[in-house]
Amino acid sequence: MSLKVAFVVIVGLAIVAFFIFRSSDDNVLETDGGMVTVGDMSKLVSSLKASGSNGSFAVVLVPGTAGSDGYDANLQFSIANEKVGFDWVLLAERNIKDKEKVISLAKSNGMSCVSGTMNEVNFVRCSGRDEYAELGQKVLKEIYGVSSNQEMPLIITDFVWDKKT
């Protein structure tokens, strides 16, 4: 499977999952991945690497960050072309607004970021160094002020995850 085809599948699945499992402050969101904290990012990426394959992904939703569109900011770890990467999918208003901040953090971590469009959805994929969990933690803490114990909904597909309830 080519990188382009794999990424089309990942972005397509993420789009569907995003709209199905969107969260807001008004309700409690139960997802197939349960809840995660900032401290779970290393375990999350390790689990994705260990048991995932092309098309597998994990989306972390950041409660309380919704823009006027009602969608919370979110970050994604995925596998495309047999490689894990960090994806910033530009669907939510907040993700679009914070795109440059995320790219700056990724570049300061020695990663390269490539913009693209698949299925009429813009995205940024960051890769190059194997520090995706650390980048996720920095995005959550530095951009969104997420505390160490704040629980966030997790959407997963096609890998083994020890779900917290």
pTM for this structure? 0.81
- Which phi-psi region, left, alpha or beta, contains residue 102 (left: φ > 0; alpha: ψ -120 to 50)? alpha
C-alpha to C-alpha distance for 79 and 8, rounded to whole angstroms: 12
Tens-level pLDDT at each residue, the chain (165 residues): 555 555 545 555 555 555 544 444 444 433 489 999 999 999 999 999 999 999 999 999 999 999 999 999 999 999 999 999 999 999 999 999 999 999 999 999 999 999 988 889 999 999 988 899 999 999 999 999 999 999 999 999 999 998 875
C-alpha to C-alpha distance for 62 and 84, rounded to whole angstroms: 21
What does the DSSP assignment read for 86-132?
EEEETTSHHHHHTHHHHHHHHHHTT-EEEEEEETTEEEEEEESSS-H
| pLDDT of res. 123 | 95
Burial class (CB in 10 A: 0-12, 13-18, 19+), 19: exposed
| pLDDT of res. 97 | 97
154 close to 58: Cβ distance less than 8 angstroms: yes
| pLDDT of res. 35 | 95
| pLDDT of res. 165 | 57
| pLDDT of res. 85 | 96
| pLDDT of res. 13 | 52
Residue 155, SS3 per DSSP: strand
Q: Quick one: CA dihedral 133, 87, 17, 136, positive or negative? A: positive
DSSP state of 72: P
| pLDDT of res. 29 | 33
| pLDDT of res. 20 | 47
61 close to 72: Cβ distance less than 8 angstroms: yes
